[in-house]
Amino acid sequence: MIYGIFSDVHSNLTALETVLLSMDSRGVEQRVSLGDVVGYGPDVNQCVSLVQREATVSLMGNHDSAAIGAESLRWFNSMAGEALRWTSGQLTAESRAYLASQLLVHSTGTCTCVHGTPVDPHLWNYLESSADAAKSAAVIDTALCAVGHTHRSVVYSVPTDEWPSRVEIPVSPLVLDLGALCRGGTKAVFCVGAVGQPRDYDNRACWCLLDTDRMTLEYVRVPYDVASVQARIVAAGLPACLAERLGNGS
């Protein structure tokens, strides 16, 4: 099966449409959203309905949860909180119901998918270190774990009897051989990057192609029209710094 795994769309329709076209061109059979469909960006209901139409599975993110009122805004910084109050006011009843229906965790059988980490997923912790990856690997019953939330693209390999290591994502080729990586019971925990707001100083939208037959993982980066989204952020009256950070991928 060829999965297109993506996360953190953050109401950025132009980036989402570009990523979906990229997935089509690569023969993706099932699309999995790891959450945060909304928050920060201008295209709230358009992104929810497109994810609803295109994703086989869509998981709950902390911004989705806060936008529907299931999470307190006090956990967010003032800029994120301001955008969430605006987002909440934009949501239609249909979008609200779809976001509320999203699950916290999903297993494809090979890969455990979650927004933050599989350890107490409702706490929205960030998977940011080898130690975090080891804790996550310990609670899953699959060889692979895909997470979003950090907006960065990183892979950790977690052997059964050694300290986990961070696998740098090669610039070329971009394809990781998971079969080789997962030999001897080693698990791979990977952060899939962000569609709508990358934070690894690369402003292109990011998604992951997981081929479970060939056991390969590829990080795909696609450029999109950032300026048009920046203009809509400003026109909506959202904080200007949200437009700026899209430009520099921070």
Q: Which residues bind Zn ion (CB under 5 A)?
A: 8, 36
Tell me how far, at minimum, the Cβ of 216 lies from Zn ion, in Å.
26
Tell me how far, at minimum, the Cβ of 151 lies from Zn ion, in Å.
6
For the sheet containing 144-147, what is the strand order? 105-107, 111-114, 144-147, 187-192, 153-158, 165-167
Closest residue by beta carbon to Zn ion: 36
Residues 6+ apart with CB under 8 A from 216: 175, 176, 177, 178, 179, 209, 210
Tell me how far, at minimum, the Cβ of 197 lies from Zn ion, in Å.
7
Nearer to Zn ion, 7 or 230 (CB): 7
Nearer to Zn ion, 37 or 209 (CB): 37
Nearer to Zn ion, 8 or 54 (CB): 8
- Residues 59 and 33 sit within 8 Å (Cβ to Cβ): yes
Nearer to Zn ion, 10 or 135 (CB): 10
Nearer to Zn ion, 124 or 181 (CB): 124
DSSP characters over 169-223: PPSSS-EEEHHHHTGGG-EEEEEE--SS---SS--SEEEEEEETTTTEEEEEEE-
- Residues 210 and 111 sit within 8 Å (Cβ to Cβ): yes
Nearer to Zn ion, 36 or 54 (CB): 36
Tell me how far, at minimum, the Cβ of 22 lies from Zn ion, in Å.
20
Nearer to Zn ion, 120 or 162 (CB): 120
Give the pair of three-digit tokens for residue 199. 């934070």
Residues 6+ apart with CB under 8 A from 200: 151, 152, 153, 193, 249
106's enclosing H/E stretch is strand 105-107
Tell me how far, at minimum, the Cβ of 108 lies from Zn ion, in Å.
22
Tell me how far, at minimum, the Cβ of 196 lies from Zn ion, in Å.
8
| CA–CA separation, 225 and 9 (whole Å) | 15
| CA–CA separation, 195 and 205 (whole Å) | 4
Tell me how far, at minimum, the Cβ of 243 lies from Zn ion, in Å.
17
| CA–CA separation, 71 and 80 (whole Å) | 13
